[in-house]
Amino acid sequence: MFIGFDYGTANCSVATIQNNQTKLLKLEGDNTFIPSALCAPTREAVSEYLFRIWGVQPSTDINERLLHTAISYNREEDIDVDAESMTFGQAALNMYIEDPEEVYYVKSPKSFLGVSGLRDVQVSLFEDLVTAMMKNIKNNAEQELQQDITSTVIGRPINFQGAASDEANAQAISILSRAAMRVGFKNIEFQFEPVAAGLDFEQTLTEDKTVLIVDIGGGTTDCSMIQMGPSWREHHDRTKGILSHSGSRIGGNDLDIYLAHRQFMPLLGSQSRTHKGLELPMTQFWNPIAINNIVAQLDFFGFGNRKHLMQMLNDTQEPEKVARLIKLYDEKLSYKLLRDAEQTKIALSEYAEQAVDLSYLDEGLTLNISQQCLAEAIAKPQENINKLIKEAIVQAGTTPDIIYVTGGSARSPILRSALQQQLPNIEIVGGNYFGSVTAGLAHWANYCFG
């Protein structure tokens, strides 16, 4: 049995082909999408859980050493790893929100897979995280299908990092490949996510078109100019029809971060000044919400940073605001704050204004945000997305007949409006914003393994 596997930054989903139709499989209750999140008692519990509960073997000597270290640590800390120790998706988020200080919570590990400078043990840790999430998804998919799944096509962005780096892409693909093998996939292929989205859209075309696919995912934005339509459907090698690719690490997570930085962080002191009139260090307000930046997170939540925050509290003219920042530090509330930014962004796709309850930072603290506030906050990532679109068009040497947008953030009327201004008089269409990549991967898996 085969599946198309969208291991996404924000959400994961899988699909297969049944009766010539794509079928998304249930991954969390009745939901066919599961948030890309994991929660465990400790970081070390992940490695032990894989081995002890699921029987997943280490893939390298480093993974094996990581496992032995994890088991020793958990024994010393009197932590019992059992079948209930690890949760995924929305259940993981719920557990984190219930007690953020007492759990190990990870969101969007895909964002880190291509990071340069990772030590071998860090690469192994990310591999274990991906393996655990893939194993949970594969188990749930097999339960619905009542069949073993042995083959998969996994989606991948054009570039896992901001710049086109062969080394970063190779590292990320290696992690995903080893994880997929460890959970039991025997046959593994990869396909570019925007190409996969195009394959799904192609099923609706009645004549050949040159299509610009703009896939704004949780962690990356990818653009591909592809020739497609009825005469292309039977071409198993689509290389000649792919006119250009561009992609970068700009996605829905970045929109959330920029919104939180522009609108939320002033309430935590980001525009406050010292008694001498100096601005407070901006990194102390960017690093806590930069959840896709390992170094920034380590710098902010490092043990030694608390004394710097306390010094800021003494120096500032608005100590009540910096006190909220210290509470965010002490209670590890970054993911909760970013979750509120994400929910606000989603709500502003439909409503002109949204109220945000931030009482977990300070009793009675609320904030009203408008669509205009959102547009101003995300101006920089929007500009970068525009550059990717221009790059794809320049590479292709032609303008598209039609623009197909997909990915969760593509629902935003702000982004759609900017795209229409950039390419006026070209039709913009959107399909299943969350499922098009998965469906296209299933079509490609049907070609590869069907």
Q: What is the DSSP string of 119-149?
A: -HHHHHHHHHHHHHHHHHHHHHHHHHHTS--
Number of structural domains in the chain: 3
For the chain, helix (H) and strand (E) counts, in that order, are 16, 16
In a domain, 321, yes or no: yes
Q: Give me the pLDDT at residue 164, please.
A: 57
Copy the structure tokens of residue 259: 């919104």
- At 384-402, the pLDDT tens digits run 999 999 999 999 999 999 9
Q: Is 105 helix (H, G, I), strand (E, B) or coil?
A: strand
Contacts of 235 (CB under 8 A, 6+ apart): 241
Instruction: Say whether both 14 and 68 belong to one domain.
Output: yes
Same domain for 285 and 367, yes or no, is yes
The kind and range of the H/E element at 381 are helix 379-396
Give the tens place of pLDDT for each residue, 346-382. Answer: 999 889 999 999 999 999 999 999 999 999 999 999 9
Instruction: Quote the Cα angle for 243-161-34, to 5°.
Output: 95
Domain residues for the domain of 421 are 207-250+380-431
Of 341, 358, 377, which residue constitutes the final position of a domain? 377
pLDDT of 238 over the 80 cut:
no
Rounded to two decimals, the pTM is 0.81
Whether residues 163 and 114 fall in one domain: yes
pLDDT at 163: 57
118 shares its domain with 151: yes
Please tell me whether residues 96 and 19 are part of one structural domain: yes
**Tens of pLDDT along 416-432?**
899 999 999 999 998 77
Whether residues 178 and 262 fall in one domain: no
In a domain, 140, yes or no: yes
Q: Where are the beta strands (DSSP E) in 170-241?
A: 187-192, 209-216, 221-228
The predicted-structure confidence for 180-225, as pLDDT tens digits, reads as follows 999 999 999 999 888 898 888 888 899 999 999 998 988 889 899 9
pLDDT (tens digit, 9 = 90+) per residue, 123-182? Answer: 999 999 999 999 999 999 999 999 999 999 999 988 887 555 789 999 999 999 999 999
Q: What is the pLDDT of residues 99-136, one digit of tens each?
A: 888 899 998 899 889 988 889 999 999 999 999 999 99
Picking from 161, 179, 42, 173, the residue whose alpha carbon sits closest to that of residue 112 is: 161
Instruction: Please tell me the distance from the alpha carbon of residue 137 to that of residue 57, in angstroms, as a whole number.
Output: 18
* pLDDT score at 195: 86
> pLDDT at position 162, please?
57
- CATH number of the domain encompassing residue 105: 3.30.420.40
**DSSP labels, 157-195:** -S-SSSS--HHHHHHHHHHHHHHHHHTT-SEEEEEEHHH
Q: Residues in the chain, how many? A: 450
Residues 52 and 168 in one domain: yes
390 & 361 share domain: no
Q: Classify residue 192: in a domain, yes or no.
A: no
How would you classify residue 293: left for phi > 0, otherwise alpha for psi between -120 and 50, otherwise beta?
beta
Looking at the predicted structure, is the pLDDT value of residue 235 above 80?
Answer: no
Q: Where are the alpha helices (DSSP H) in 211-277?
A: 252-259
| CA distance linking residue 321 with residue 367, whole number of Å | 14
Q: What is the dihedral of CA 412, 260, 41, 124, to 10 degrees?
A: 70
Q: Is 449 domain-assigned?
A: no
Q: Are residues 158 and 238 in the same domain?
A: no
Q: Is pLDDT above 80 for 414?
A: yes
* pLDDT value at 272 more than 70: yes
Q: Tens of pLDDT along 9-36? A: 889 999 999 988 999 999 999 999 999 9
Residue 445 lies in a domain: no
d(CA 196, CA 155): 8
What would the mean pLDDT of 68-94 be, rounded to a whole number?
94
Residue 196 lies in a domain: no
Q: Using one digit for the tens of pLDDT, what is the confidence trace for 291-343?
A: 888 889 989 999 999 999 999 999 999 999 999 999 999 999 999 999 999 99
Mean of all residue pLDDT scores within the chain: 93
Cα-Cα-Cα-Cα dihedral of 217, 165, 298, 63, to 10°?
100
Clarify whether residues 70 and 218 are in a common domain.
no
Whether residue 267 is contained in a domain is answered as yes
Distance in angstroms (rounded) separating the CA atoms of residues 24 and 144: 11
pLDDT mean over 54-59 = 94
The end-to-end CA distance of the chain, in Å, is: 8
- What integer is the mean pLDDT of 84-102? 91
Look at residue 410 and tell me whether its pLDDT is greater than 90. no
Residues 261 and 242 placed together within one structural domain of the fold: no
Same domain, yes or no: 132 and 9: yes
| CA 266 from centroid of its chain's CA atoms | 26
In a domain, 199, yes or no: no
